[in-house]
Amino acid sequence: MAKPYGYWTWNLTRNGLAGVEGDPDNPPVLHEDFIVYALHTSRIAVAQFEILFPRLLPAEQDRLLDILARRPMARKLIKDQQTFDDQIQSRGARAGVHVRAGPRGGVQKPGQYDAEPVTWRDLY
């Protein structure tokens, strides 16, 4: 039995996975983007999803299977916290540090600013 407050359930009466698109009597409780993100990042969400999925109505199961088919990221669970942290850190490391080249800082090319400065008198 699910606890009163699980990842997808609350108060033993609401199931966040329940609902069918276009059904006014049984609208979806949670948006598919939230479901996909949760299944991709939370081991608890996946464990409780596997428990609750067989208890859903066939139409609700079809909706979730359609989401999983269209959004493959949901099936790629990050297995452990260390891998999750490493992926976040590697994104920042790959981004690099961008510096401007020029007289106000950064790297100057050799000979780039060796010319004599031009004054306003030289122009007239």
pLDDT tens digits, one per residue of 90-108: 766 666 666 555 555 555 5
The Cα–Cα gap between 54 and 52 comes to 6
Dihedral of the CA atoms 70, 26, 49, 16 (nearest 10)? 110
One-letter amino acid for residue 110 of the chain:
P
3-state secondary structure of 106: coil
Structural domain spans, the chain: 30-85
The tokens of 106 are what? Answer: 């950064």
Element (H, E) at 123: helix 120-123
What are 3-35's pLDDT values in tens digits? Answer: 556 888 887 778 889 999 888 898 998 998 999
